[in-house]
Amino acid sequence: MTSAQQFAKTRLSALLSPAGVAIDGSAPYDLRVHDERAFSRILAAGSLGLGESFMDGWWSADRLDELAFRIFRAGLDRTAADPGRLVRKLAAWVLPRGRRARAFVVGERHYDSGNDLFAWMLDRRMIYSCAYWKDAATLEEAQERKLDLVCRKAGLKPGQVVLDIGCGWGGFARFAAERHGVEVTGVTVSKEQVGPARERVRGLPVEIRLQDYRELSGRFDAVVSLGMFEHVGPRHHRTFLRQARRCLADDGLLVLHTIGASETTGAPDPWIEKYIFPETHLPSLAQIARAAEGLFVVEDVHNFGAHYDRTLMAWEENVEAHREAVAERYGERFLRMWRFYLLSCAGSFRARHVQLYQLVLSPSGVRGGWDSVR
């Protein structure tokens, strides 16, 4: 080990100490370093260096989720070096996320990764958003509980027409049509999702479109958006809600389900931005409320972010069960990247660093008040 590497190791050890994490320690969440270049790489590039050096096999941990939990719980994400934060903040302002010209980027770079990957990872309905684990023992049950919860919050009744913004592989649309007798229009920006989604809803009163939300028209009894608002961007939050309001009947409800930040921030995590979700920004509750002013009455806010920890761990378990197939199809480095994504995010939700907000919004307020259906 060179003197520079020893210096970097000492600094990194001191940085991790408040989280109770050691280098080459015996705890399952300790970093086991396989390449000494990892020390300076992590110090120099923060979370980007941490993730990339893991992808390259320079370090490992038996419980990556617990490592992430301790890092976030100790607030090390705020104290670690991140030389590109200011640049990303400026870029987010000059070239804001959610621009119409970039509307299909997240579909192309994430959701179009491969339907087989998501089929291995998700439940049979291919629901790629936080499950609701109340009174549920399996991922299948928890996702069904979530879909049922959304339908009850939206007050769906037979014969209604429903808009699903960010419909994914059509899981919610099929559930709502079969269980509640509604017609559904679903839109997605992922070319790879359209075909399987249309096949999933074949024979049902459901239309699936490859379309940006800004191009929507028509009038609907209810609007639902599950896990799409994260890709809208703060400068377009109001645009999204204004469009949802235009499409919603005066007595209808919007159910908005989104990962959310605990604080209003101007820059996304650099590793997530580069490798997982480009053009993405987690909204704070304050940002959502400001964007809704004058457009909607906030009837209900339900935070079940702790449920995302269990959801992500279930997804990772499924990926692990198909490890050989994923590695053969996408390569070992991709497999390590995907595991880092799932497990580090699980740790962040476990630490309550990020949240899952499910809001019920009405155009003018439900007369007599909205009755909770949780």
The C-alpha atoms of residue 284 and residue 303 are separated, in whole angstroms, by 12
- Residue of 130, 151, 167, 345 marked active site: 345
The C-alpha atoms of residue 299 and residue 162 are separated, in whole angstroms, by 19
Q: Is 301 exposed, middle or buried (0-12, 13-18, 19+ CB in 10 A)?
A: middle
Dihedral pair phi/psi, residue 297, rounded to 5°:
-95, 130
Residue matched to tokens 């023992």:
137
Residue 99: CB atoms within 10 A of its CB come to 13
Which letter does DSSP use for residue 82 in this model? -
The string of DSSP letters for 211-256 reads --GGG--S-EEEEEEES-GGGT-GGGHHHHHHHHHHHEEEEEEEEE
Tell me the HSE value of 188 on the side-chain side, using a 13 A CA sphere: 27
Strand pairing of 354-362 and 248-261? antiparallel
Active-site residue 345, yes or no?
yes
Q: Is 327 exposed, middle or buried (0-12, 13-18, 19+ CB in 10 A)?
A: middle
The C-alpha atoms of residue 145 and residue 135 are separated, in whole angstroms, by 8
- Point out the residues that are catalytic: 345
